[in-house]
């Protein structure tokens, strides 16, 4: 059967999927597509959940989490890294140029400089002013689909039928200093198995880590579930551990080897973007709570 390239990502990131599609259409690899795709959001100052412009931790420092995974199961990640505009590219360097999978904090930043990345100020005036405003009450309460709304996880299949994925975020706004979410954790925020498919997550990362969400979804697809069914089961596992309080958002997206996609979330409001021969589509996601 003919292999059709496709890229999908969390939320309605039109420009990111357009970039990924450009790479795929030109015959590029899924790995290049997901890296270059999510870089669009890392560079967008108006996205306050990813890269430059991201909301800071409670001390006013923007700390970034990202990971990437390729068709051979190689992966790389950076955790809680400051002052570098494209954490996904540093994650890729960790994957390709070191014997390690994860680098954190100062070590990750130092490694980035060694690889030629420039030091940049990630805290924009807008995010700084909002943080100063937040400090007046210092109340830590994420607002569903509003605050922390824009983490990008992307999955792609290239012309060869190979799958890769990437995920990148500034994490939860006003988090504790040093806090790391699901997004750079292989198996939690992202997982790819080139024989089966891939999955990635957005939302309250702590809950995704507790259930190793993306790995779970890929394993469920291995057992025969469709991407849609697997995402639904992934969300249900989280609900089962949070029976008394489902007042938070999690969204999963998944793709299988055939290029079939699916998504599921807790709260209404989540969508995912897809770019393939079939067009550039924003899919509304079905939700556990209606
Ligand atoms: C985190 N999962 O750091 C990320 C946040 C997120 O859209 O997805 N925001 O927990």
DSSP string computed for the chain = -----EEEEEB--HHHHHHHHHHHHTT--HHHHHHHHHHHHHH-TT-TTSSTT----TTS---EEEEEE-TTS-EEEEEEE-S-S-HHHHHHHHHHHSS-SEEEHHHHHHHHHHTTPPP-----HHHHHHHHHHHTT----PPTTTTT---EEEEEE-TTS-EEEEEEE--STTPPTT---STTSBTTTEEEETTTEEEEEEE-HHHHHHHTHHHHHHHHHHTT--HHHHHHHHHHHHHHT-TT---S-EEEEEEETT--EEEEESSTT-EEEEEETTEEEEEEPPBS--
Tokens 């995704």, residue located = 208
Query: Has residue 151 got a pLDDT over 80?
Result: yes
Q: What is the pLDDT of residue 140?
A: 75
Q: What is the pLDDT of residue 89?
A: 99
Q: Is 203 annotated as a binding residue?
A: yes
Q: pLDDT band for position 150 (50/70/90)?
A: confident
Percent of the chain with pLDDT over 70: 96
Q: Best substitution site from 200, 205, 253 to test ligand 1's pocket, by max atoms within 8 Å of Cβ? A: 205
Q: Is 204 annotated as a binding residue?
A: yes
Q: What is the pLDDT of residue 138?
A: 85
Please compute the mean of the pLDDT values over residues 189-217 and round it to a whole number: 97
- The complex's ipTM? 0.98
CA distance linking residue 268 with residue 117, whole number of Å: 39
CA distance linking residue 3 with residue 258, whole number of Å: 8
pLDDT, tens only, 173-196: 999 999 999 999 999 999 999 999
Indicate if the alpha-carbon torsion angle 276, 277, 278, 281 is positive or negative: positive
Q: Of 66, 72, 117, 76, which is closest to residue 96 (Cα–Cα)?
A: 76
Whole-number mean pLDDT of the chain?
Answer: 95
Ligand 1 lined by 47 (C-beta under 6 Å)? no
Tokens 């405003």, residue located = 133
Q: Catalytic residue numbers?
A: 151
Q: What is the pLDDT of residue 148?
A: 57
pLDDT, tens only, 239-273: 999 999 888 999 999 999 999 999 999 999 999 99
pLDDT, tens only, 16-33: 999 999 999 999 999 999
Ligand 1 lined by 205 (C-beta under 6 Å)? yes
Q: What is the pLDDT of residue 173?
A: 92
Q: What is the pLDDT of residue 177?
A: 97
Q: How many residues does the chain have?
A: 290
Q: Of 76, 247, 228, 104, which is closest to residue 167 (Cα–Cα)?
A: 76
Stretch among 131-135, 137-141, 175-179 having the lowest mean pLDDT:
137-141
Ligand 1 lined by 175 (C-beta under 6 Å)? no
Q: What is the pLDDT of residue 110?
A: 98
> For residue 203, which atom of ligand 1 is closest to its CA?
8
Specify whether the CB–CB gap between 101 and 94 falls below 8 A.
yes
Ligand 1 lined by 165 (C-beta under 6 Å)? no
Ligand 1 lined by 19 (C-beta under 6 Å)? no
Ligand 1 centroid–CA 162 distance in Å is 26
Q: Best substitution site from 38, 50, 148 to test ligand 1's pocket, by max atoms within 8 Å of Cβ? A: 148
Specify whether the CB–CB gap between 266 and 250 falls below 8 A.
yes
Q: Is 150 annotated as a binding residue?
A: no
Provide the whole-model pTM.
Answer: 0.97
Q: Best substitution site from 178, 183, 212 to test ligand 1's pocket, by max atoms within 8 Å of Cβ? A: 183
Please compute the mean of the pLDDT values over residues 129-140 and round it to a whole number: 90
Q: What is the pLDDT of residue 143?
A: 58
């Amino acid at each position: 059967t003919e292999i059709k390239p496709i890229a999908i990502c969390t939320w309605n990131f039109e420009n990111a999927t357009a970039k990924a599609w450009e790479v795929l259409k030109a015959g590029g690899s899924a790995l290049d597509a997901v890296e270059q795709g999510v870089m669009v959001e890392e560079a967008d100052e108006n996205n306050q959940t990813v890269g430059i412009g991201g909301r800071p931790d409670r001390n006013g420092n923007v700390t970034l989490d990202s990971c990437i995974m390729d068709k051979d199961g190689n992966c790389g990640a950076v955790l809680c890294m400051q002052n570098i505009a494209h954490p996904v590219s540093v994650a890729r360097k960790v994957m390709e140029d070191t014997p390690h999978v994860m680098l954190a904090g100062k070590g990750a930043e130092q490694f980035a400089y060694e690889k030629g990345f420039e030091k940049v100020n990630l805290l924009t005036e807008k995010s700084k002013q909002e943080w100063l405003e937040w400090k007046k009450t210092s109340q830590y309460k994420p607002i569903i689909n509003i605050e922390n709304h824009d983490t990008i996880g992307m999955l792609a299949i290239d012309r060869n039928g190979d799958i890769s994925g990437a995920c990148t975020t500034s994490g939860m706004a006003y988090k504790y200093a040093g806090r790391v979410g699901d997004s750079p954790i292989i198996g939690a925020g992202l997982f790819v198995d080139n024989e089966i498919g891939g999955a990635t997550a957005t939302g309250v990362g702590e809950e995704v880590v507790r259930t190793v969400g993306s790995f779970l979804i890929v394993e469920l697809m291995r057992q025969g579930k469709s991407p849609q069914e697997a995402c639904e089961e992934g969300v249900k596992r989280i609900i089962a551990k949070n029976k008394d309080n489902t007042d938070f958002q999690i969204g999963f997206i998944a793709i299988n080897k055939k290029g079939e996609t699916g998504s599921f979330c807790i709260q209404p409001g989540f969508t995912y973007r897809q770019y393939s021969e079939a067009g550039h589509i924003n899919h509304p996601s079905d939700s556990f709570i209606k």
